[in-house]
Amino acid sequence: MSGGRFAVDATGFLTLAKREILRYLRRPWNTFAPPFITNVLYFSVFGVILGERVGTITGVPYILFILPGLVVLGAVSNSFENSSFSIFHGRWNEYIHEVLTSPLSYTRMAWAYVLSAATRGLLVGGLIAAIGWGIISALYRPVPVEHPLYLLASLSVIALLFSGLGVVGGLIARDFDDLTVMNQFILRPLVFFGAVFYSLEDLTPLLRDISLFNPMVYMVNGVRYGFLGVAEVDPGFSLVVLGGMTVVVLAVDVAMFKRGYGLTD
């Protein structure tokens, strides 16, 4: 038995968040090596080799143009994968019962999964930014960070949003195949059509309008604004849209935990 409700709230939440973070920190070859290698390849092939031919987009060298998009790509996929995998794996092997049978509130359970996954998203996003900074600074010029606070806010909201979506994915998945479908057939196309590797100006008016329904566009746009100070969509509007979506998704997460969706019979 515990010492009291406050102790359960604070200690229980911190314990679950710590458990979730330690799970991926102790497996760096699984957590950090893949994005490291993938992004070194991205920067080398797309940025350096192809970038020489592309020249500049919206007034910045191509390798610098794709940097924000790659940071978003890493943050989004790691946030989503972490929360969805952790919850689904716990359900699959039923060890999530260790949490569910505890006196921790459903709200704090959901928040612990979201925040720990978002932390992974930010760490991987930071890793990719560091790789890009290293390569670009060595070959061209230092990478600017024009609006650091906006950049931090934007990346945080993105990581929270996709961690929250990952919680939904982890709760509704019935098989590992479902996670693969969500990641490869939904998330990845959204990212690649989210103006990571191209400018919206290169699209026809119709495709440009359709693209504006893709939330990834606002994310890439916002992070690009934070780094480079250039934006194709109003950065304030981008942040508001993303913030609103995040609030809705997190509310859904908490509601699903309270209802026991995917967790209880």
Partner 1 sequence: MTNALEVEDLRKRYDDVEALDGVSLTVPEGSFFGLLGPNGAGKTTFINVLVGLVRASGGEARVFGHDVEDDYRLARDRVGLAPQEFNVDRFFPIHEVLEHKAGYHGVPHGEAAARAERALKQVGIYDKRDTRFDWLSGGMKRRFMIARALVTEPDLLILDEPSAGVDVQLRRDLWDLVTDLNDDGTTVLLTTHYIEEAERLCDRVAILDSGRVRTVATPTELMDRGTDRVVVTLRESTATARDVLDALPDDDRVADVAVEDDRLVVTATQGGLLAPDIVRELDRAGYTILDLAIERTSLEEVFVEMTRHDDADADDGGVPADDPDTETVAAGGVDR
For residue 104, state whether it binds partner 1 (rule: CB under 8 A). Answer: yes
**Unique residue bearing structure tokens 């650091």:** 148
Cβ(169)–Cβ(258) below 8 Å: no
Among 29, 55, 59, 93, binds partner 1 (CB under 8 A): 93
For residue 255, state whether it binds partner 1 (rule: CB under 8 A). Answer: no
Among 3, 55, 142, 205, binds partner 1 (CB under 8 A): 3
The one segment of 11-19, 133-141, 192-200, 224-232 that binds partner 1 by CB under 8 A: 11-19
- Count the site residues for partner 1 by CB under 8 A: 34
Cβ(19)–Cβ(96) below 8 Å: no
For residue 265, state whether it binds partner 1 (rule: CB under 8 A). Answer: yes
For residue 7, state whether it binds partner 1 (rule: CB under 8 A). Answer: yes
Cα dist from 156 to 19, 26, 118, 121, 179, whole Å:
21, 23, 7, 9, 23
Q: Any bridge partners for residue 57, and if so which?
A: 60
By beta-carbon proximity to partner 1, the closer residue of 204 and 264 is 264
Q: Among candidates 143, 164, 142, 156, which has minimal Cα distance to 222?
A: 156
For residue 11, state whether it binds partner 1 (rule: CB under 8 A). Answer: yes
For residue 87, state whether it binds partner 1 (rule: CB under 8 A). Answer: no
Quick check: helix, strand or coil at residue 56? strand
d(CA 31, CA 53): 33
For residue 2, state whether it binds partner 1 (rule: CB under 8 A). Answer: yes
The one segment of 15-23, 165-173, 207-215, 234-242 that binds partner 1 by CB under 8 A: 15-23
Q: Which two tokens stand for residue 5?
A: 């409700």
Q: Which two tokens stand for residue 247?
A: 């609030």
Ramachandran class of 233: left when φ > 0, alpha when ψ lies in -120 to 50, beta otherwise: beta
Among 33, 49, 98, 186, binds partner 1 (CB under 8 A): 98
Interface residue list for partner 1 (CB under 8 A): 1-5, 7-12, 14-16, 18-19, 22-23, 90, 93-95, 97-105, 260, 264-265
